Amino acid sequence: MDDLAFLNSLPLFSGIPAADLGAIHRMCRPGWHAPGTVILRQDDPSADLYIIREGEVVVRLRRDGGEREVVRLGPGSVFGEMALFDGYPRSASVLAVTEVLSFCITRADFASFAERRSSVLFQMCKVFSHRLRDTNSLLTRH
């Protein structure tokens, strides 16, 4: 599957017009990460969203002097998305489990794009809201 078809298959970009999807594709910066590489470190400054094209990562959260695995993510998963909107420090660490090909979108690139495309923002907010609901549900079960 080519990169445009891959992006189009993601819930994050579902229903986005082809021209907008092409603009998003042009913002994507590919990057390879070797197994064991720290892609994001909790509490570091944030500015980028990552999309996993190939491979697997683990999300870890540091608390009470230890670190806990939160979730493993594979192709099509997105992480670091809060950075596009709030610029707060990273809320978790993300490490490559296998060799990972990711697409990175910077806040600077995304901000100028999003100013003119409210439908894209609305679609992304829907996906992020679903993720927050899933997280809330998971937290209330424990």
Judged against a pLDDT cut of 60, whether residue 129 lies above it is answered with yes
Residue 53, token pair as written in the block:
């094209």
Residues in the chain: 142
Judged against a pLDDT cut of 90, whether residue 139 lies above it is answered with no
DSSP class of residue 98 equals S
Average pLDDT, stretch 51-79?
Answer: 93
Average pLDDT, stretch 95-123?
Answer: 86
Residue 95, token pair as written in the block:
């490490």
Average pLDDT, stretch 74-83?
Answer: 91
Average pLDDT, rounded, for the chain: 87
Judged against a pLDDT cut of 90, whether residue 98 lies above it is answered with yes
Residue 20, token pair as written in the block:
């907008």
Average pLDDT, stretch 119-128?
Answer: 71
Q: Which of 96, 122, 117 is nearest to 39 (CA)?
A: 96
Helix (H) or strand (E) holding 4: helix 3-9
Q: What is the pTM of this model?
A: 0.85
Task: Note down the domain range covering 15.
Answer: 3-141
Average pLDDT, stretch 34-60?
Answer: 95
Domain count, the chain: 1
CATH number for the domain that contains residue 31: 2.60.120.10
Q: How far apart are CA 33 and CA 75, in angstroms?
A: 14
Asked if 12 and 124 touch (Cβ cutoff 8 Å), the reply is yes
